[in-house]
Amino acid sequence: MANTYTQIHIQAVVATKFRKAQIDPIWEKRLYEYLIGIFHACQHKVLAINGMPDHLHVLFGFRPTQSLSDLMQQVKASSSKWINEERLTPFKFAWQEGYGAFSYTKSDVPKVIRYIENQKVHHERKPFLPEYRRMLENLEVDFETKYIFKEPE
């Protein structure tokens, strides 16, 4: 649309179903490349992607040509299907219902990129769920504890 200018940076967080550690380091890079392909095909630009065996973070420049919920549904459905078709895990792979999505100003982007790039080191010291709750609280996101990502089973 003519005369439409946006600068929207979103960090999305998704977790594996039941927070099972299903993302194997052997194929996680392939998963990230696949996910980047989905974002790019939808005209969004990935700035950082990384995670742990039970969840991942992606920071991307979001174009408002698509709703965020449609994008996240497409990312999760397509990547689950791909993981299962490629038989990357011996069990059926699925993402947990829902996602977190947080917007950032351009000046925050370098800090968020560092945070995402250092996920593995970061989570050696801090568990995911308490940190996720703290992120929701710090960003003043209304939430109900019963709907937050589940504890690992």
- What is the C-alpha to C-alpha distance for residues 141 and 136, in angstroms, rounded to an integer? 5
Q: E strand or H helix at 47, and its extent?
A: strand 45-52
Strand pairing report for 9-15 and 100-104: antiparallel
Q: What is the mean pLDDT of residues 24-32?
A: 96
Give the pLDDT confidence of 7-16 residue by residue, as tens digits: 999 999 999 9
Whether the pLDDT of residue 123 is over 90: the answer is no
- What is the C-alpha to C-alpha distance for residues 8 and 103, in angstroms, rounded to an integer? 7
Q: What is the mean pLDDT of the chain?
A: 92
Domain boundaries, the chain: 9-147
- What is the C-alpha to C-alpha distance for residues 17 and 150, in angstroms, rounded to an integer? 8
Which of 14-18, 43-47, 130-134 has the weakest average pLDDT? 130-134
To the nearest whole percent, how much of the chain has pLDDT over 90? Answer: 69
Whether the pLDDT of residue 24 is over 90: the answer is yes
More confident residue, 65 or 4: 65
In 53-153, DSSP assigns E strands to: 55-61, 100-104
Q: How confident is the model at residue 5 (pLDDT cuts 50, 70, 90)?
A: confident
Helix (H, G, I), strand (E, B) or coil at 134: helix
Please answer whether residues 98 and 46 qualify as being in contact, where contact means their C-beta atoms are separated by less than 8 angstroms. Answer: no
- What is the C-alpha to C-alpha distance for residues 72 and 141, in angstroms, rounded to an integer? 18
Whether the pLDDT of residue 149 is over 80: the answer is no
In this structure, CATH architecture of domain 9-147: 2-Layer Sandwich (3.30)
Give the pLDDT confidence of 80-118 residue by residue, as tens digits: 999 999 999 999 999 999 999 999 999 999 999 999 999
More confident residue, 128 or 82: 82
- What is the C-alpha to C-alpha distance for residues 72 and 92, in angstroms, rounded to an integer? 20
The pair of structure tokens assigned to 112 is 């968020």
